[in-house]
Amino acid sequence: MTLNRRNVLAAGLAAPTLAMPSIVRAQAWPTRPLTVIVPWAAGGGADTVTRMIAAGIEQEIRQTVNVVNRTGGNGVVGHSAIATAAADGHTIGTGTSEFVNFRLLGQADLGANSFDLISRISLIPAGVTVKADGPWRDFAAFAAALKEGRKGQYTGSGVGTGGAWHLAAAGMTKAMGLEADRIRWIPSQGGAPALQDLVAGGVSVFTGSPVEAKALADANQVRVAAVMGSERMAAYPNAPTLKELGIDWTFENWFAFLAPRNIPAPVRARLVEALEKAHARPEVRKAMTDRGIVPIWESSEAFASFASRTSDTAGGLLRDLGLVRS
Amino acid sequence: MANFDALMHGFAVALTVHHVTLMVLGVLLGILVGVLPGLGAPNGVTLLLPITFSMDPVSAIILLTSTYWGALFGGSTTSILFNIPGEPSSVATTFDGYPMARDGRATEALTFAFMSAGFGALLGVVVITLLSGFVTGFALRFGPAEYFSVYLLAFCSFIAFGSGPPLKTIVSIALGFSFATVGMDSVSGAMRLTFDFNDMIRGISFLVVVIGLFGIGEMLLTLEEGVSFKSADARIRPRAVLSAIARLPRYWVTMLRGSAVGIWMGITPGGPTAASFMSYGLAKRMSKRGAHFGKGEPEGVIAPETADHAAGTAAMLPMLALGIPGSATAAVMLGGLMIWGLNPGPMLFIERADFVWGMIASMYLGNVIGVILVLATVPLFAAMLSIPFTIIGPVIVTVCIVGAWTVAGAPFDLWLAVVFGLAGWAMKKLDYPIAPLILAMVIGDRAEDAFRQSMIMSHGSITVLWSKPLVGTISTLALVLLASPFIAALRRSLRAREQLPPAQE
Amino acid sequence: MLSRMQLELAAVAVVFVLGSLAVIGALEHEIGWASDGPQAGYFPFRLGIILIVASLVIGAQALASGARGRELVLSRESGRRMIGFFLPLVGYVAIAQVLGLYVATALYLGFVLRAMGRHGWQATAGVALGVPLASWMLFEVWFTVPLLKGPLERWLGLA
């Protein structure tokens, strides 16, 4: 645990109050409403998934669950709030793949080892979305243009520099035998503005979630040429996966439940059990799959080894992109 | 006429006891979050979101949108009565609304604000109703360069009016832009001006600054001058309401201009806050009574209010048709839409016509209900003004401090609000204009992003701002607006020199 | 108590410091205009320079302002009133950091109403307890926006 001044202060203040009532309560969980911290704004992907599951948690533990958005600094603010919350099982958070790269990007001293990794909760496959009335009918045409053109001739967007969808684009071009920065990245504040840029003609390809592109795809403004998941998406049955096209690259962004480290073991066991049950509830599952979000639940050990693997892959790509600051 | 038939059908959907009850509840809740600084429409809508999971989508969207309208109305109340903007988009309403209230014309100011807001909202809905196809096409022509040119236009139309000393205006603007750069730079991913200080990563919240500069700053001024509230008379007199309504048509030009600005900014989407500033700036320049702005001019209330609400309603269209939210609140609603199992897009208009047109019809009704209810809450606030200042003053301070906390849930922000309170007092004393600082903070962040994104696209060439007819027109317009006061001043001084001997300073 | 010139100079000093901070902070990044446009430090650096220059000019103007500079912007009496308002406010925020917003609000209102407003015990207690209670209902219960809490709430098992 990283000690900063606020922690020491909080601990000092908490000490005298650790008298009777708290100790008694440590056996019982939950004794009061739960808080789930989301590092991203209300209405976004992480927030929506969290609120869906939060409704399920309320059913499981018969306690109010407050979803709190702590936004800012590319998720740094919210993730650090999760890491430094009281480890009593009443505060958890929804982490997003960004936290794995904070140290490499020089954004914050936070990483997988700053949290109690509970489980990933959902996967969001990346895609290759192009303008519908643009030059490319399908992925093959796009790939050919990318190979023939100059490095940086075509632009991509979907997230800020070094974000998940940027890595998706870099990994894809690398798997095609090209440079990681073959596609010039136009940083954006999220999926919606990037898609707007795509239609306005400023951006060649959108590598974010095809789910976000659904409205514009229905309006015949954009075309999902391929998806980067391990299988095709129900919403886009005609869009092949990159694997099918002979490119060895899959990319799924993910959200996960994180907790501050050192929650007492009995409390943690109850907490994880409740979360897993909530996540498995049929109405929660249905809400997620209806939106094209792939639910996932795994053991903490599996999540931890996934996090370290993904950290290596992402680290390599960020190095190729010249974005590593530390 | 197909749209008209669909709308009539929509009214049939929306005009049930159940739905009208939801509108009333939504508007009331919205007024409450609107009045509280720090809490805003996005909070109100987010709060209601889980409740709507079990509702049918039409009822759900009616509840959420009504909350939004309520918040937009409620934000103006405290702007006018206490000089504390309850919503970011009602900052511009304080400029003339508060002076009017101080002159004992609170009823008039509030009536003008609510009626013109209602007018802007309705015009926004009418545009949605009639021009949905055209409008969505327009929104899709906007890329970073276009965004930047719009922010530039908003800025230029507001800034160049030179009421304060020029050098101090420049300091205000530069401070606002500097504050906006603090935190993560979304283009490069670097941390700027944070000095490794944890509380700076979040950036400096514009809302906290507003709470400090306006709320606490105003308290300091009031106390220093040793008087109780100057807006002593906020009783709502039916006759004053009626006479204000009767005089409203006189300002039809301002209302139409404000609505046009708002609708445009809602669709593109530049947001209601930038829209209200832009509309205020344009009104000040174009009005014959421009020189009286800032001293309690009705037009100075009407202009931002129409634009604010027109932007709020117009933002619903790109959200429904394209999945592009035009405001923070629309973004939350978009999340809701998907949870209810609705996919935004043109297919929504065909497959779920009852939903789309029920919602549009509810926007007409909701805003009418909003105007009525918000007028009805005014006596409540007027009653607050008759409480002794030694009680209500400290209570307002606690509302401000609590508001500063709710913005981001950070203890540090409380200090920030206090410091900016002191700064607000000093700025007033020394004639540093506050409004340019606020505007620079509002648009600085997004304008810089848009500018640098378009520069990445153009390989660092500024000509991208004139690369297409649309962006070129907006950019040129902005520069003309920026230059016009200087040219006018130059011409005036030349003429003065011809007529008079050189004046001694 | 405070002349216009003194206040002008104080304000200018603050602006100067803020400008310098912007310049120093910007220098941690590239401040040029590269092939992909302005870099991260480009705008902060220039804004900082503008602030520094403007502060120096305004400062010089203030020093040369003569009679207008000597006029009082804050009389002794007004100053006392302001400090009487401002110090409790600072205390309020300081206490809030440690004890949480609810307790701090109650203490602040209790102190200000009683000591500054000279209201009776009943009115004081009503407001000092009523406002935190109403805030609790509004924020914790209704809006589920948790406010800053301290040891008291933790001890009561509410946080």
- Which of residues C43, C74, C105 is at a domain's end? C74
Among C18, C21, C89, C137, the residue to mutate for chain B (most B Cβ within 10 A): C89
C91 and C23 in a common domain? no
Among B278, B302, B311, B375, smallest CA distance to B97 is for: B302
Q: Does any CB of chain C come closer than 8 Å to the CB of residue A291?
A: no
Under the banding of pLDDT at 50, 70 and 90, the label for residue A10 is very low
The residue-averaged pLDDT of C35-51 equals: 93
Among A9, A13, A181, A323, the residue to mutate for chain C (most C Cβ within 10 A): A13
Measured CA to CA, the distance from residue C19 to residue A8 in angstroms comes to 33
Under the banding of pLDDT at 50, 70 and 90, the label for residue B387 is confident
Which residues in B lie closer than 8 A to residue C57 (C-beta atoms)?
167
Measured CA to CA, the distance from residue A223 to residue A204 in angstroms comes to 12
Bridge-partner residues for A227, per DSSP?
A127, A241
pLDDT tens-digit map of A191-220: 888 998 899 888 999 999 998 888 889 888
pLDDT of residue C124: 94
Q: Is the pLDDT confidence value at B160 over 70?
A: no
Q: Does any CB of chain C come closer than 8 Å to the CB of residue A64?
A: yes
Q: Is the pLDDT confidence value at B130 over 90?
A: no
| Range(s) of the domain holding residue A167 | 127-227
Measured CA to CA, the distance from residue B310 to residue B316 in angstroms comes to 10
Measured CA to CA, the distance from residue A74 to residue B243 in angstroms comes to 51
Which residues in B lie closer than 8 A to residue A71 (C-beta atoms)?
202, 408
- Which of residues A211, A227, A243 is at a domain's end? A227
A166 and A315 in a common domain? no
pLDDT of residue C37: 87
* B293 within 8 A of B95, measured Cβ to Cβ: yes
Torsions phi, psi of B304, nearest 5? -65, -35
pLDDT tens-digit map of A283-319: 999 888 877 788 999 999 999 999 999 999 999 999 9
pLDDT of residue A326: 66
- Which of residues A160, A192, A227 is at a domain's end? A227
C85 and C60 in a common domain? no
Among B147, B201, B205, the residue to mutate for chain A (most A Cβ within 10 A): B201
Using CB atoms and an 8 Å cut-off, which of residues 182-211 of chain B contact chain C?
A: 185, 187-188, 190, 192-195
| Range(s) of the domain holding residue C52 | 2-74
A73 to B201: CB separation less than 8 angstroms, yes or no: yes
Under the banding of pLDDT at 50, 70 and 90, the label for residue A3 is very low
Helix (H) or strand (E) holding B149: helix B144-159
C50 and C21 in a common domain? yes
Under the banding of pLDDT at 50, 70 and 90, the label for residue A2 is very low
Tell me the nearest-neighbour CA distance from C64 into chain B, angstroms: 14
A135 and A112 in a common domain? no
Q: Is the pLDDT confidence value at B338 over 80?
A: no
Q: Does any CB of chain B come closer than 8 Å to the CB of residue C32?
A: no
Residue A233 lies in a domain: no
A286 and A221 in a common domain? no
> Hey, where are the domains in chain B?
2-489
The residue-averaged pLDDT of B163-189 equals: 88
Residue C131 vs residue B244, higher pLDDT: C131
Tell me the nearest-neighbour CA distance from A152 into chain B, angstroms: 10
C127 and C138 in a common domain? yes
Task: Name the residue in chain B with its Cα closest to that of C74.
Answer: B224
C96 and C58 in a common domain? no
Measured CA to CA, the distance from residue A168 to residue A247 in angstroms comes to 13
Residue A12 lies in a domain: no
For chain A, what is the domain count?
A: 2
Q: Does any CB of chain C come closer than 8 Å to the CB of residue A202?
A: no
Residue A222 vs residue C146, higher pLDDT: A222
Identify the chains in contact with A, defined as 3+ C-beta pairs within 8 A.
Answer: B, C
- Which of residues C40, C74, C108 is at a domain's end? C74
C55 and C25 in a common domain? yes
A119 and A153 in a common domain? no
Measured CA to CA, the distance from residue B401 to residue C97 in angstroms comes to 12
* A36 within 8 A of A68, measured Cβ to Cβ: yes
Residues 6+ apart with CB under 8 A from B303: B92, B254, B257, B258, B276, B279, B280, B282, B283, B284
Residues 6+ apart with CB under 8 A from B444: B176, B177, B179, B180, B181
Question: C71: buried, middle or exposed (CB in 10 Å: 19+, 13-18, 0-12)?
Answer: exposed
Tell me the nearest-neighbour CA distance from C31 into chain A, angstroms: 17
* A241 within 8 A of A231, measured Cβ to Cβ: yes
The residue-averaged pLDDT of C127-148 equals: 88
| From A7-16, A243-252, B61-70, C85-94, the region with the lowest mean pLDDT | A7-16
A148 and A77 in a common domain? no
Q: What is the DSSP string of A22-36?
A: HHHHHHSS-SS-EEE
Q: Does any CB of chain B come closer than 8 Å to the CB of residue C124?
A: no
C123 and C112 in a common domain? yes
Residue A245 lies in a domain: no
pLDDT tens-digit map of B182-233: 998 888 888 899 998 888 988 998 888 988 998 898 888 888 876 555 444 5
The residue-averaged pLDDT of A24-39 equals: 79
Q: Which long-range contacts (CB under 8 A, 24 or more apart) does C64-72 make?
A: C65/C4, C65/C5, C65/C8, C68/C4, C69/C3, C69/C4, C69/C5, C69/C8, C70/C3, C70/C4, C70/C5, C71/C3, C71/C4, C72/C1, C72/C2, C72/C3, C72/C4
pLDDT of residue A110: 92
Tell me the nearest-neighbour CA distance from B210 into chain A, angstroms: 19
Q: Which long-range contacts (CB under 8 A, 24 or more apart) does A190-195 make?
A: A190/A44, A190/A159, A191/A158, A191/A159, A192/B323, A192/B324, A192/B325, A192/B331, A193/B324, A194/A157, A194/A158, A194/A159, A195/A129, A195/A222, A195/B323, A195/B324
Which residues in C lie closer than 8 A to residue B388 (C-beta atoms)?
117
Amino acid identity of residue C22, one-letter, is: A
CB pairs under 8 A between B and C: 178
Under the banding of pLDDT at 50, 70 and 90, the label for residue A50 is very high
Under the banding of pLDDT at 50, 70 and 90, the label for residue B497 is low
A41 to B190: CB separation less than 8 angstroms, yes or no: no
**At B381, is the secondary structure helix, strand, or coil?**
helix
Helix (H) or strand (E) holding C84: helix C76-99
The residue-averaged pLDDT of B396-424 equals: 92
C151 and C81 in a common domain? yes
Under the banding of pLDDT at 50, 70 and 90, the label for residue A21 is very low
Helices marked H in A111-213: 139-148, 164-175, 191-200
CB atoms within 10 A of CB B319: 23
Among A204, B145, B139, A297, smallest CA distance to C37 is for: B145
Under the banding of pLDDT at 50, 70 and 90, the label for residue A254 is very high
pLDDT of residue B487: 77
Which residues in A lie closer than 8 A to residue C159 (C-beta atoms)?
32
**Positive or negative: CA dihedral B212, B213, B219, B223:** positive
Q: How many percent of chain C have pLDDT more than 70?
A: 99
In what side-by-side order are the strands of the sheet with A252-259? A65-69, A34-38, A91-96, A252-259, A116-125, A294-295
* A225 within 8 A of A138, measured Cβ to Cβ: yes
Which residues in B lie closer than 8 A to residue A82 (C-beta atoms)?
none
Between vectors from CA C79 to CA C74 and to CA C81, what angle results, nearest 5°? 135
A222 and A140 in a common domain? yes
A202 to B457: CB separation less than 8 angstroms, yes or no: yes
* B305 within 8 A of B116, measured Cβ to Cβ: yes
**At B351, is the secondary structure helix, strand, or coil?**
helix
C65 and C14 in a common domain? yes
Query: What is the bridge-based pairing of β-strands A184-185 and A116-125?
Result: unpaired
Measured CA to CA, the distance from residue B1 to residue B233 in angstroms comes to 48
Residue A246 lies in a domain: no
Residue B417 vs residue C144, higher pLDDT: B417
The residue-averaged pLDDT of A26-43 equals: 83
A69 and A115 in a common domain? yes
* B374 within 8 A of B90, measured Cβ to Cβ: no
CATH of the domain at A183: 3.40.190.10
**Positive or negative: CA dihedral B48, B50, B51, B57:** positive
C70 and C101 in a common domain? no
- Which of residues C74, C93, C113 is at a domain's end? C74
CATH of the domain at A96: 3.40.190.150
A193 and A279 in a common domain? no
Please, what is the average pLDDT of chain B?
84
| From A266-275, B179-188, B194-203, B385-394, the region with the lowest mean pLDDT | B385-394
Amino acid identity of residue B228, one-letter, is: S
Using CB atoms and an 8 Å cut-off, which of residues 63-122 of chain A contact chain B?
A: 68-74, 76-77, 80, 105-108
Core vs surface per residue B427-437: b (16+ CB within 10 A) or e: bbbbebbbbbb
Tell me the CA distances in angstroms from A245 to A125, A164, A211, A228, one per residue in order: 16, 22, 21, 11
Among B229, B198, B217, smallest CA distance to B104 is for: B229
Under the banding of pLDDT at 50, 70 and 90, the label for residue A246 is very high
Winning range, highest mean pLDDT, from A127-136, B7-16, B218-227, B374-383: A127-136
* Candidate from C21, C78, C97 with C-beta closest to B411: C97
Q: Is the pLDDT confidence value at A69 over 50?
A: yes
Residue B320 vs residue B328, higher pLDDT: B320
Measured CA to CA, the distance from residue B468 to residue B117 in angstroms comes to 34
- Which of residues A184, A211, A227 is at a domain's end? A227
A148 and A118 in a common domain? no
Between vectors from CA A104 to CA A98 and to CA A107, what angle results, nearest 5°? 65
Using CB atoms and an 8 Å cut-off, which of residues 204-263 of chain B contact chain C?
A: 216, 219-220, 223-226
pLDDT of residue A27: 59
Q: Which residue in this structure is represented by tokens 């405001």?
A: B327
pLDDT of residue C13: 97
What size, in residues, is chain A?
326
pLDDT tens-digit map of A133-174: 999 999 999 999 999 999 999 999 998 888 899 999 999 999
Q: Does any CB of chain B come closer than 8 Å to the CB of residue C128?
A: no
Torsions phi, psi of B346, nearest 5? -60, -30
A154 and A63 in a common domain? no
- Token pair, residue A10, equals 């909080």
pLDDT of residue A222: 93
C82 and C57 in a common domain? no
Q: Is the pLDDT confidence value at A18 over 60?
A: no
